[in-house]
């Protein structure tokens, strides 16, 4: 399985944008890039996913590099409730519906 | 809203006991999953099911079994609980979609085996 590399932790100030990076240099052409986050004492929740083009939804934006070897999750205005562990996951086409979670990035938001 | 519920938030069992963890989803999803989450190891897939009475082993199935008699319910069974099965257990469900989908997670059951 293609692997992802994320920083262990990041800090942000409240109401500022946050850019969470993910490297996936061995990504294959049909791998989807998924992002989930896990708030304290909760199960993970879906944030966003993409294949090649940048994606936006109400929670975040996903910027995918042209060569697809990296991506960035963008939170446009961090709030204290965005403090969580963010997971970048590659889902291979034909792999059923399984997700393989890595270590993720712990985002801390300062007031 | 999709809802995935788990029977207990906290559970304490003794070594050797048979333990049942129940998960119910209300969105008619075909796929259901059981993970365990441990510090430093992240989430690891134990079993998943893509249809009633169908199951597939995940990465760490040893010591566990599952049951899916109805579409909405997926049970994780610890036949003889051991202390190394103390963990957070997370259930998830997803619709079947060939290319893109999302998994919906329950709140988790923190199991302690003493």
Q: Which of A46, A97, A103 sits opposite B42 (nearest CB)?
A: A103
**pLDDT computed for residue A94 by the predictor:** 59
Across B62-90, average pLDDT = 97
Q: How many contacts, defined by CB atoms under 8 Å, are there between A and B?
A: 57
Closest CA to B104 of B95, B96, B112: B95
DSSP-assigned letter for residue A15: T
* Sign of the dihedral through C-alpha B63, B66, B107, B110: negative
pLDDT exceeding 90 applies to what percent of chain A? 77
C-alpha distance from A64 to closest chain B C-alpha (Å): 16
Residue whose tokens read 């599952």? B66
pLDDT tens digits for range A35-54: 999 999 899 999 999 999 99
Between the alpha carbon of residue B38 and those of residues B98, B101, B109, the distances in Å are 30, 25, 12
CA distance B32 to B58: 12
Which residues of B have a CB under 8 Å from any CB of A?
4, 31, 33, 35, 42-45, 48, 50, 56, 58, 90, 92, 94, 96-97, 99-108
Residue whose tokens read 């993409």? A50
Whether residues A43 and B106 touch (CB distance < 8 A) is answered with yes
């Amino acid at each position: 399985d293609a692997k992802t590399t994320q920083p262990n932790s990041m800090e942000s100030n409240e109401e500022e944008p946050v850019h969470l990076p993910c490297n996936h240099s061995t990504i294959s052409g049909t791998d989807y890039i998924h992002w989930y986050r896990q708030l304290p004492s909760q199960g993970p929740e879906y944030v966003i996913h993409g294949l090649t083009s940048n994606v936006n939804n109400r929670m975040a934006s996903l910027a995918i590099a042209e060569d697809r070897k990296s991506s960035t999750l963008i939170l446009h205005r961090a709030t204290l409730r965005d403090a969580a562990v963010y997971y970048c996951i590659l889902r291979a086409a034909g792999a059923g519906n399984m997700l393989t979670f890595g270590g993720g990035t712990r985002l801390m938001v300062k007031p | 809203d999709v809802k995935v519920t788990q029977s207990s938030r906290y559970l304490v069992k003794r070594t050797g006991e048979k333990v049942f963890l129940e998960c119910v989803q209300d969105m008619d999803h075909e796929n259901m999953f059981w993970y365990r989450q441990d510090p430093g190891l992240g989430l690891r897939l134990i079993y998943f099911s893509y249809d009633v009475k169908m199951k597939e082993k995940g990465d760490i199935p040893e010591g566990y079994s599952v049951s899916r008699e109805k579409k909405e319910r997926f049970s994780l069974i610890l036949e003889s609980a051991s202390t190394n099965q103390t963990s957070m257990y997370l259930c998830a469900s997803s619709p079947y979609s060939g290319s893109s989908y999302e998994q919906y997670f329950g709140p988790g059951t923190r199991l302690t085996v003493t």
